[in-house]
Structure 1
């Protein structure tokens, strides 16, 4: 039997952001494209594996962003897992939408044709959307992994991490 929790202090947006920001996460750029093949994308630290059979992962996308409606309409997306030299991509895709793809080299992925960031990502996963789960201000996007690639960066760069309001890596 579960006992309901009573009372407590309200957790504000800033307090919750500080809590989650104190826990480092890997950094990815999620990309997709509209029907005219105009690319869209956003920096993401809310990403995890979901199942092995079938291979699925989930990402959380802000409802206020420009990428989520395009991703939902296209029904597919790419997860670009960034290495430490990919910080420029992380920063570009966290900024204004108009500048994202003009500052970072990209190419079409082999299965979906969606944008891959080969100079900034150490691995990618091409995904087909299987479910969208709306929450309060984000949508959980579940994707079946259709194809993966691992890219060797020019240097032996470690995965890019973000936490405590800064980027970091662990030694390789």
Structure 2
């Protein structure tokens, strides 16, 4: 199998797993806010409450996370696609373009884009390929609104749609 074919198959595999969308934020020691869109997030344990995020090696956000020893995971709601795209773009002025508030411990809270925010302390990091896996202990969770998450899969954004009559949830892609 050619390398290009293998890479295309891997991209199809990764894209075929719809997941929630978050923005991981941190504040550098000099006070600069950093953040990036992240779909590589999972819960690890309830005791101690631990999350895992994968951040691009060399990114300023990863640098701020490791330098500060803390981060915030902003779980985006179904109407926050523009924030996901902004924080995925690398735009230098991203924090000038969205409402946010500083956290006592962790990174900036995206108060209009998030449905839930977890402030975390970094416990472990491990370089894996072109990313770094960061394990972090949740120290505070803030719920801002009903959690209807923004989802991403098959290279498209989507959200859960509730069929009130039958009590079912379905996944709707947003083109």
Q: TM-score, normalised by structure 1?
A: 0.87
What displacement does 1:99 show? 2.7
Residue 90 of structure 1 aligns with which residue?
Answer: 84
Q: Deviations over 1:24-45 (max 9, x none)?
A: 1000000001112110010000
* 1:61 match: 55
Which residue in 1 is equivalent to 2:151? 161
Q: Supply the distance in 1 between the matched residues of 2:139 and 2:157 (Cα, whole angstroms).
A: 29
Once residues 52 and 73 of structure 1 are traced to their aligned partners in structure 2, the CA distance between those partners, rounded to angstroms, is 26
Report what 2:142 is aligned to: 149
Over 3 Å counting, the alpha-carbon distance change for 1:142 and 1:95 in structure 2 is: same
Quick one: distance in 2 between partners of 1:102 and 1:148? Answer: 24
- Total equivalences in the alignment: 161
Q: For the aligned residues, what is the CA RMSD?
A: 1.7
Indicate conservation of the 8 Å contact 1:85/1:157, yes or no.
Answer: no
2:70–2:106 CA contact under 8 A, matched in 1: no
Q: Which residue of 2 aligns with 1:4?
A: none
Higher strand share: 2
How far apart, in 2, do the equivalents of 1:113 and 1:24 lie? Answer: 27
Residue 44 of structure 2, aligned match among 50, 61, 75: 50
Answer yes or no: is 1:37 the counterpart of 2:31.
yes
Alignment gaps of 5+ in structure 2? 163-175
SS in 2 for 1:101: helix
Question: Runs in 1 of length 4+ with deviation above 6 angstroms?
Answer: none
Q: 53, 65, 82: which one pairs with 1:71?
A: 65
3-state SS, counterpart of residue 115 of structure 1? coil
Please, which of 120, 129, 133 is the counterpart of residue 136 of structure 1?
Answer: 129
Q: Which consecutive residues of structure 1, in runs of 5 or more, have no partner in the other structure?
A: 1-7
Q: 1:20, 1:164 → 2: CA distance?
A: 9
- TM-score, normalised to structure 2, is 0.86
